[in-house]
A and B are shown apart, each in its own frame.
Chain A
Amino acid sequence: MKGLSRIAVAGVAAIVGTAGLSACGAAASQKAAAAPLVVLPSPIGSYSRNFNPFSPTDLPGTTGLVYQDLFYFNPLKSQTYPMLGTSFAWSGHGTVLTVHLRKNVKWTNGQPFNADDVVYTFDLLKRYPALDTNGIWKVLSKVKAVNSDVVTFIFKAPNVPYQWYVLGETPIIDQALWKQVSDPVKYGNPNPVGTGPYLLKSFSPQVYSFSANASYWGGKPKVPTVEYPAYTSNSSADLALSRGKIDWAGLFIPNAQKVYVKPNPKQNHYWFPPNYIVILYTNLKNPLLAQLPVRQAISLAINREKIDKVGEYGYENPSSPTGLILPNNKAWLNPSLPPQDVSFSYNPAKAVSILKSAGYKKNAQGIFTSPSGQPLSFTLNVVSSATDWVSDASIMQSELHNVGIKLTVNQEQYGAFYGALKSGTYQLAIWGSSPGPTPYYLYNALLSPSSIGNYEHWNSSATNAALAQYSASSNLSVQKHAMYAIEHTMATQLPSIPLVNGPNWYEYNTSQYTGWPTPSNPYSNVTPASAFGTTVVLMHLHPVAK
């Protein structure tokens, strides 16, 4: 007994010792300044120190607060902010992009920023294709500095829409510092040096913070400290949010009005603007789904209002048949489209009549069969952890059953789900889409035969021609007419079936700071998870006068 307890005591001492060591090494920082802005983009249990702006898992704030892009494209309305660039122009029939850079910008280590940094950034992506997540060098052939404040990008073929990836989605890094990095792909960049309005102030696995950059080119931000605490789950984060411990969040909250706003209606606000469209992907390699009447019947039989109200807490309005994200894309909507092509109608009776007139007949089980005798019975894949989509799937299952189409819901893990979606070994699937600042990006990802996101395998020469037309022109009216053609195709040909608008989660508390984006003034993307948009929001915020 004696011997045992001695061992035990020694063990405990050793254990406490190791825990203490790691805790000491974790961080050293000053005392927190008054009224930090507490931000929670999404719950992450504990942080690992990754401020590499090219990494898909960089910590929120790396891009935006520290590293900046050349321009910021606001997805909520057609609006462009000059950041490190001041102006850009296309020439050479959409193959040459010339960018003028901002003068007198300094990195936070005091070194001046110039065109060489921009060229170095893009060359780095070329040397390390693993960093080039937007595939820029598939279309770009050369980047060169004309002088210290002008850079030109030369494309292999006309590709005007790539301006977004080049100007708006590529963080510019400091060449002097990054030249010393041996493997930028695996580099965690523990002490980031950028051009943005904030500097890293402290880091620990449970919280990290940024402090205002006094020499920021846009003026010193009015929010002195921005803090990112770690929360392990949505529910613990929701709790902290409703207790006013978080100023700006990008969280899903069930019954936001009741749970979040009602306890403190003056200061707690939320707005969930549409960000992408949720699509019922129809695999066109399937001979039944390749038939337009079948896709039309499925679309007509789905009650999107019910999906919104029952499956999605009323946060996700029905999409437009055009596939446009409305109202964000309203400037791009063809004004002469008939109303049935602008908004969906729920009409199960019409679904039945369409199938009947196309020669489909109900079998003994009440399921429609094709003229060649195949029943309209499909498997619908959905990611099991996307619980809202799982309930949407069961709503669709019962609605389609009512008109004589059988669905079997198949819940899968991410890996299995995406593998089937990508390889085309599925029948129906619920999945999102890839939006951009104009409708082109979503359409191109969804409909271009060369896009990985063309999961339904749509290939139409008319669509390809319209996409190419947009690509080759920086003239707005040419671009609009190209988009009008695709809007019509989406609404009448149903390459896949839009369901509801997927939102961005955005909650904010006005007790410390005001100036937040609102539905009447959507000056920037609202979620703190949006990389480059966060800077624009932070620069608009100012302390509440007390």
Chain B
Amino acid sequence: MKFVAQRFLFLLLSVWAAITINFFLPRMMPGNPAEVMLARYQGKLNPQALHALALQFGISHQPLWVQYWSYLISLLHGNLGVSVSYYPTPVTTVIAQSLPWTLALAGTATVISVVAGTWLGVISAWHRGTIVDDILPIATTVSSAIPYFWMALLLLYLFGFLLGWFPLGHAYSTIMVPSWSAGFVGNLLAHAILPLSTILISSLGGWLMSMRNNMLHILDDDFMTFGEARGLSSRRLVYIYAARNAILPNLTGFSMALGFVVSGALLTEIVFSYPGLGYQLFTAVENEDYPLMQGLFLIIALAVLLANFITELIYARLDPRVREE
């Protein structure tokens, strides 16, 4: 219990640090949202608009600590401010619209990648020395060495543009109305296949290699030899005895990866115009939309910290040595 309390305290401290950095960083940048907006809309807005824009965005000339305090208060109320580029939409709405897409895309990709990679790692280690073990690690090492945005461009060019098998971007066809009909779900899947494959291909290798290496250690252990001598089936030996012990590091990796899912597969989303958080972050940076950037960073930081916290708890449960230290 003391361990959990300790970890929780650390979580609170990190969250506070993240929020504080998140508050001060944008305020150190030159210009304010009203000026950025005026500059971006030059030609559409005349410079007279500056005063009205400053009022709209609530640009404050109060001392920084007063602003910091009201920022903390509004955070507690779940108010992340108003996005500049989607004005007057609140940041929370923008995030709520994009989050499902990212969770669906990057989340699904991560889960598939972990499960498939880990399983292939087991196979590869069990069949070490055979042709399977020669091909799998090398193939996946090559595929994960390719930068994933480049992979995305390649897939887009080959299967989207040249062959025309898959759509060029977006989460679904703009002519379709979202519904639960088979046609629409099929359309969603067709749009998701290329971005999903991109993430999958580039992340599979890591999981495979780490599982394979762990397995190789375990397979050399005495209890494995003993189990084999006792006549346990090889299936039982691999999955119940070896894999169960070897999976610990991958499990940690998985829960960490889940934290990073929220940050979105930034470049993949940009290449495929996929309307997730990564894409929103990109447009927010492009438009100098600090409230939106702050909101996104906050969500990402919270997700990573929480995932970290949960990992530590799980790890302590699975591996008593951690608890005792």
Given known A24-B180, A56-B45, contact A188–B88 (CB-CB < 8 A)? yes
| Residue interface mask A198-228, B partner, CB < 8 A = 1 | 0000101111000000000000000000000
Tell me the nearest residue of chain A to B175, going by C-beta.
Answer: A32
| Residue interface mask B269-296, A partner, CB < 8 A = 1 | 0100101000100010010100000000
Are B288 and A414 touching (Cβ within 8 A)? yes
The smallest C-beta distance from A112 to any residue of chain B, in angstroms, reads 30
| A-facing residues in B60-107 (Cβ within 8 Å) | 82-83, 85-89, 93-94, 96-101, 103-104, 107
**B97 contact set on A, CB distance < 8 A:** 22, 46, 48, 205
> Interface size class for chain B?
35 or more
The smallest C-beta distance from B67 to any residue of chain A, in angstroms, reads 18
Query: Which of A21, A432, A452 interacts with B43 by CB under 8 Å?
Result: A432
Q: Does A275 lie at the interface of the complex (its beta carbon under 8 Å from any beta carbon of B)?
A: yes
Q: Give the contact stretch, choosing among A125-133, A304-312, A478-486.
A: A125-133
Are B180 and A55 touching (Cβ within 8 A)? no
Interface contact tally, CB-CB below 8 A: 199
Q: Give the contact stretch, choosing among A149-157, A231-239, A391-399, A513-521.
A: A231-239
The smallest C-beta distance from B324 to any residue of chain A, in angstroms, reads 24
Q: Give the contact stretch, choosing among B8-16, B17-25, B31-39, B126-134.
A: B31-39
How distant is the Cα of A502 from the Cα of B108 in the complex, in angstroms?
47
Tell me the nearest residue of chain A to B49, going by C-beta.
Answer: A133
| A-facing residues in B103-121 (Cβ within 8 Å) | 103-104, 107-108, 111, 114-115
How distant is the Cα of A122 from the Cα of B52 in the complex, in angstroms?
15
Tell me the nearest residue of chain B to A232, going by C-beta.
Answer: B273
Are A55 and B36 touching (Cβ within 8 A)? no
Residue in B45, B46, B52, B99 whose Cβ sees the most chain A Cβ within 10 Å: B46
How distant is the Cα of A270 from the Cα of B37 in the complex, in angstroms?
28
**A432 contact set on B, CB distance < 8 A:** 42-43
How distant is the Cα of A29 from the Cα of B179 in the complex, in angstroms?
11
Given known A48-B89, A133-B48, contact A56–B31 (CB-CB < 8 A)? no
How distant is the Cα of A426 from the Cα of B107 in the complex, in angstroms?
48
Number of interface residues of A (CB under 8 A): 77
Given known A8-B115, A133-B49, A383-B39, contact A48–B94 (CB-CB < 8 A)? yes
How distant is the Cα of A450 from the Cα of B226 in the complex, in angstroms?
91
Query: Which of B44, B55, B100, B104 interacts with A129 by CB under 8 Å?
Result: B55
The smallest C-beta distance from B70 to any residue of chain A, in angstroms, reads 17
How distant is the Cα of A232 from the Cα of B39 in the complex, in angstroms?
20
Given known A134-B46, A414-B288, contact A185–B56 (CB-CB < 8 A)? yes
Query: Which of B52, B82, B243, B283 interacts with A1 by CB under 8 Å?
Result: B243
How distant is the Cα of A143 from the Cα of B37 in the complex, in angstroms?
30
Are B35 and A418 touching (Cβ within 8 A)? yes
Q: Does A248 lie at the interface of the complex (its beta carbon under 8 Å from any beta carbon of B)?
A: no
Are A130 and B56 touching (Cβ within 8 A)? yes
Q: Does A172 lie at the interface of the complex (its beta carbon under 8 Å from any beta carbon of B)?
A: no
Q: Does B247 lie at the interface of the complex (its beta carbon under 8 Å from any beta carbon of A)?
A: yes
The smallest C-beta distance from B259 to any residue of chain A, in angstroms, reads 13
Are A207 and B168 touching (Cβ within 8 A)? no
Query: Which of B36, B47, B53, B179 interacts with A24 by CB under 8 Å?
Result: B179
Query: Which of B53, B88, B178 interacts with A23 by CB under 8 Å?
Result: B178
How distant is the Cα of A205 from the Cα of B103 in the complex, in angstroms?
18
Given known A50-B88, A135-B52, contact A419–B174 (CB-CB < 8 A)? no
**B55 contact set on A, CB distance < 8 A:** 129-130, 185
**A205 contact set on B, CB distance < 8 A:** 97, 275
How distant is the Cα of A441 from the Cα of B179 in the complex, in angstroms?
49
Q: Give the contact stretch, choosing among A10-18, A64-72, A92-100, A330-338.
A: A10-18
Are B37 and A56 touching (Cβ within 8 A)? yes
Query: Which of B35, B85, B115, B243 interacts with A5 by CB under 8 Å?
Result: B115
**A32 contact set on B, CB distance < 8 A:** 175
**A16 contact set on B, CB distance < 8 A:** 104
**A239 contact set on B, CB distance < 8 A:** 168
Are B87 and A415 touching (Cβ within 8 A)? no
Are B104 and A419 touching (Cβ within 8 A)? no
Tell me the nearest residue of chain B to A434, going by C-beta.
Answer: B46
Tell me the nearest residue of chain B to A14, going by C-beta.
Answer: B103
Q: Does B169 lie at the interface of the complex (its beta carbon under 8 Å from any beta carbon of A)?
A: yes
Q: Does B306 lie at the interface of the complex (its beta carbon under 8 Å from any beta carbon of A)?
A: no
Are B175 and A207 touching (Cβ within 8 A)? yes
Q: Does B29 lie at the interface of the complex (its beta carbon under 8 Å from any beta carbon of A)?
A: yes
**A49 contact set on B, CB distance < 8 A:** 89
**B104 contact set on A, CB distance < 8 A:** 15-16, 18-19
Interface residues of chain B, those whose CB is within 8 Å of chain A, are 29-32, 35-53, 55-56, 82-83, 85-89, 93-94, 96-101, 103-104, 107-108, 111, 114-115, 168-172, 174-175, 177-180, 184, 188, 239, 243-244, 247, 251, 270, 273, 275, 279, 283, 286, 288
The 24 listed contacts between A and B (C-beta, < 8 Å) are A4-B115, A8-B111, A18-B103, A20-B180, A23-B100, A46-B98, A48-B86, A50-B88, A56-B87, A130-B53, A130-B55, A130-B56, A131-B52, A131-B56, A133-B49, A133-B52, A229-B174, A233-B273, A415-B30, A415-B35, A418-B36, A419-B30, A452-B50, A502-B43
- 6 A-B pairs with least C-beta separation: A415-B31, A130-B55, A23-B178, A452-B47, A232-B273, A133-B49
Sample of 4 more A-B contacts, CB < 8 Å, known A1-B247, A415-B36, A453-B47: A130-B52, A187-B88, A239-B168, A419-B35
